[in-house]
Amino acid sequence: MRKLVASSLFILLVLSASFAQDGKKALNTASRALTAFNIDPTSNKPKLKEAVDAIREAQNSSDVNSTVKFWETKGEILNEVATQIMTVRQLGLGSMDELPVVDNPAYEAFEAYSKAFSMAEKKFEKKDALKGLQNLQTILYSLGIYDYEDEKYEKAFQSFNAVIETHDLLKANGEASSLDDPTAFQDQLFVTGLAALNAGYKDKALPIFEKLYQTGEAKAAVYEALYTLKSETDREAAYKYLDEGRKKYPDEVSLLFAEINHFLALNQLDNLIGKLKTAIEKEPDNLSLYTTMGNVYDNLYQKESEGGNAAKATEYFNNAMDYFKQALEKDPKGFDANYSMGALYYNKAAAMTQELQKLDGDYTKEGIRKYEEKKKEIFQEFDKAMPYFKKAESLDPNDANTLIALKEIFARKDDLATSNEIKKRLDVVQAGGKNDSSFFKE
């Protein structure tokens, strides 16, 4: 039994030694392949892939991956992969197909150099690791920009944040950093915050933007970002950032639009009108501003109409119509403007229908006359709405609200055949399907 145990231990030791030897051999292969690549990068592209494959193999050996040399070598190899990617994208030299496939080489190089630094005991080892990180900063930033442009925000955040972490480590050890200039540091914080925000890392984005805000020199987008992040829990409290940002950057359109959306969300229509007029002055060709203004006036019209204030209701109705008309003059094929104009007349007719119901039941000659007159007025408003809804349906045959309105109008006009056809199309949409073409042609 003792012999069996001893024999098993011997086998394990042999295997362990063998794996260690394989790991060291792979590390040496990786180092030699990288050296060969650096001698002639143009002709020796396959050597870079060989270096990546070998360093991956070496990492499986615990005797090897516990050494500073391994992590330093890994950092150098992946740094070179990242550099080659940057060369292809910036200068158009070479091809991505010639390079080894590594998901995020710059960030992986950052992790490797950081590991080497944390493990280093000798002064020259720490110096080498810091030098590698120092050289890596620009590459991390560049690849982060590419990922951001490609909408790979998670990877962009990783790279951008690594630039900042590298800066902190370099400064803690008395070394120069690409972020030594205060403006460069603020800019790096800003792009890192934007990447975090777009990646959905709100918990990481918030402290970054708060830090930028506290400098007193924050960009307009910082105020907008803080409003966006904080409005999820307290919209009213978050408004202070918009208000402050608007005062500091009165010509910044993005802040103005954020403020418009803020008041829309709170349904504070009176506050919106001045903001929208300012926005239209700044962007006179932005059709959504005209339809939004028209809808604001439409809502105010309905509010005053329900309150019995006929004069004010008429004023708001005319204002709504004016802005919808302006939008249609700029783009007759605008769906929102066509639908909104139709809805304006439709809602007016619907409100008048309630008045008609009050006249129902009065069978006197005068009562019947008033009933017929009111009914005629209602149909006139529905007739005014009809062409706009038809146009809207021709532009988008799958908008449920348009189909509902058309179905109702045709039913009221006793055109049941058309009303039923529209209903069939509505049923398709409400069942989650799509109508292949419009019922009404342009």
Q: Of 364 and 99, which is predicted with more confidence? A: 99
Whole-angstrom CA distances from 250 to 245, 282, 410 are: 8, 11, 49
Position 15 scores a pLDDT of 41
Model's pTM, two decimal places? Answer: 0.66
- C-alpha to C-alpha distance for 347 and 440, rounded to whole angstroms: 22
- pLDDT at 277 exceeding the cut of 70: yes
**Mean of pLDDT values over 317-334:** 94
- C-alpha to C-alpha distance for 253 and 286, rounded to whole angstroms: 12
**Mean of pLDDT values over 119-144:** 94
Contact status, residue 78 vs residue 108, Cβ threshold 8 Å: yes
Rg (CA), the chain: 34
- C-alpha to C-alpha distance for 24 and 14, rounded to whole angstroms: 15
- State the DSSP H helix or E strand holding residue 266, giving kind and residue range, or none if neither: none
- pLDDT at 211 exceeding the cut of 60: yes
Residue 11 banded pLDDT, cuts 50, 70, 90: very low
Position 10 scores a pLDDT of 43
Query: Please, how many CA atoms are within 13 Å of residue 182, restricted to the half-sphere of its CB?
Result: 4
Give per-residue pLDDT as tens, 76-93.
999 999 999 988 888 877
Give per-residue pLDDT as tens, 190-208.
999 999 999 999 999 999 9
- pLDDT at 75 exceeding the cut of 60: yes
Give per-residue pLDDT as tens, 373-412.
767 877 888 899 999 999 999 999 999 999 999 999 999 8
Residue with structure tokens 């339809």?
Answer: 291
Neighbouring CB atoms inside 10 A of 348's CB total 22
- C-alpha to C-alpha distance for 81 and 59, rounded to whole angstroms: 18
Q: How many residues does the chain have?
A: 442
**Mean of pLDDT values over 164-168:** 96
Position 189 scores a pLDDT of 94
308 exposed, middle or buried (CB, 10 Å; 0-12, 13-18, 19+)?
Answer: exposed
Contact status, residue 260 vs residue 292, Cβ threshold 8 Å: yes
**Mean of pLDDT values over 410-415:** 89
- pLDDT at 8 exceeding the cut of 70: no
**Mean of pLDDT values over 296-313:** 87
Position 14 scores a pLDDT of 40
Alpha-carbon dihedral of residues 87, 90, 94, 97, nearest 10 degrees?
A: 90
Position 382 scores a pLDDT of 87
- pLDDT at 96 exceeding the cut of 90: no
Give per-residue pLDDT as tens, 15-32.
444 445 677 888 889 889
Residue 2 banded pLDDT, cuts 50, 70, 90: very low
Contact status, residue 10 vs residue 38, Cβ threshold 8 Å: no
Q: Which two tokens stand for residue 338?
A: 């066509």
Q: Of 13 and 408, which is predicted with more confidence? A: 408
- C-alpha to C-alpha distance for 440 and 4, rounded to whole angstroms: 89
**Mean of pLDDT values over 348-373:** 67
Whole-angstrom CA distances from 330 to 130, 324, 327 are: 60, 10, 5
Position 6 scores a pLDDT of 46
Among the residue ranges 268-277, 309-318, 334-343, the one predicted with the least confidence is 268-277
Among the residue ranges 155-159, 365-369, 427-431, the one predicted with the least confidence is 365-369
Q: Mean of the per-residue pLDDT values for the chain? A: 87
Spell out the alpha helix ranges (H) of 252-399. Answer: 253-265, 269-282, 287-306, 310-330, 335-359, 365-395
Whole-angstrom CA distances from 60 to 10, 21, 53, 63, 192 are: 21, 12, 12, 9, 33
Q: Which two tokens stand for residue 200?
A: 């959905």
Position 146 scores a pLDDT of 93
Among the residue ranges 20-34, 219-233, 308-322, 354-368, the one predicted with the least confidence is 354-368
Among the residue ranges 102-106, 233-237, 360-364, the one predicted with the least confidence is 360-364
- C-alpha to C-alpha distance for 51 and 32, rounded to whole angstroms: 8
